[in-house]
Amino acid sequence: MQKMALLSHAAERVGSDSLKKWELVGSGGFGDVYKARHKDWGFDVAIKLLRDGVGCYASPLLPKENALFEEVNHMDKVSCEFVLRVYGIYEGNTPCGGLSMQTGIVMEFMSRGSVQDLLKELCAPPPWPLAFRLAHQVALGMNFLHSRDLMHHDLKPSNVLLNDDLNAKLADFGLSRVSTSALNSSEERTGEVGGTYKYMPPEAFDASYEPVRAFDRYSYGILLWCIVTGNEPYPMAGNSLVALRIPKGDRPSCEKINQREVEGLEELVDLMKMCWDGNPAKRPAFKECLEVTQEGFSKHKKGIHVAVHHVLTRLESHTSNQYSNRSVPLSFSPQTPEQSKSHDKKDPVRVTQTEKKSISDSEETLSDTDKAKFIDDNRAVLIQDVSEVMAIVDELGDMVHSETYSVIDTIQTSQEKMRVLFLRTFRSGGVTVKAAFYTVLKRHQPKLVERLSGTY
């Protein structure tokens, strides 16, 4: 009766006899997640089960099953393409759980894991088009949650899941207050009010704090930093140090984020900093965040299909051991920018518009032959100054032979990568490839092209 009281309607019941091909695919602060094939539906689903001993700080006497039913109620209220879909309640035995009956949630299965998984696989951030799309889709999902008077309380990379096409959906917002971690890692330990320490706002470390929407806005700021840099915040800090330093104003470092070579990045970083402001009242609502993320993604939308294709190709090749050097990270160098030599601030709108106009005007007068001549004439400078080689190579796609791609990927320096491009790809591909390289280079490093343009 206590279970049913938490349900808003008669949820679909799924028993063990309806499922086959069980496979443990993940663990988290709540417990375990299995993938299983539903015999009647014909597709894979995810089964989330709480482990024994997992409690709920918000209601210490509440049975673990009730936390699951509470999440079903929450997820049932948010039918949205950016929030994970729930199919019903699982009740039965699992192949790994012995004879005891277990209760869980039957959810949409996200085949590509989480943003955290993606960043670990790539050993770097995603290419810019995908990074901007992830930032926007998370903001869309969070805006929808808040519009339904729901808060997440544990927004972080591992709770943003990815489908086959690397589109993002929010998960685990109903279990954010299930605080005893099922992981051995202290990095995933949650606080009493819900949330993971490194993603919690400074006010949340006050014992009397009660979460409000500003909690999620802060977490979103830290999440943006993770997406843009590809790193985990405060990697060397334990929870006690995080709890001490965050209220004192410490935040992840932004020194290595280049805000000048990528359109929309400066605005995204500004949004990031507003979201993690120490004053909750100054953090923008997600509806305001959407204005920035929509604008940023629109600048890179044309490249999203190429970016997704190449990320998926890299992930598949990594899984199948296509490349012999397993120690080489699956990196995308556009997100590992060089530190700016100058800290002088410029008007981002004026600079962007001026750069776009001057370079696009020059491109209108260039034929493919002229573009190829530009590449040949500036060979020495391009080898020295092109820093975003892998991002450009990714956009060139099949123009770069897979063997050449593998060689370039194993090289550590941008200069050596460029030399291989000139010796192999440009030599064999001729005018067509050089012209394509010029076009992509113009998008990634407009100042470099403008500086070298001269009479072109």
Distance CA 149, CA 143 (A): 10
- 3 state DSSP class of 260: coil
Exposed e or buried b for every residue in 262-280, given b needs 16+ CB within 10 A? bbbbbbbbebbebbbbeeb
Question: What stretch of H or E contains 103?
Answer: strand 102-108
> Which residue's entry shows tokens 């409000």?
212
48 is in an annotated binding site: yes
Pairing of strands 13-15, 168-170: unpaired
As a residue count, the chain comes to: 456
Answer yes or no: 117 catalytic.
Answer: no
Closest CA to 155 of 173, 178, 182: 173
Residue 33 — φ and ψ, nearest 5°? -125, 130
At 188 the three-state DSSP class reads helix
**What is the rounded distance in angstroms from the CA atom of residue 219 to the CA atom of residue 199?**
5
Structure token digits, residue 163? 């489908």
Catalytic residue among 17, 52, 117, 154: 154
Return binding residues: 48
Return binding residues for ATP: 48
Catalytic residues: 154
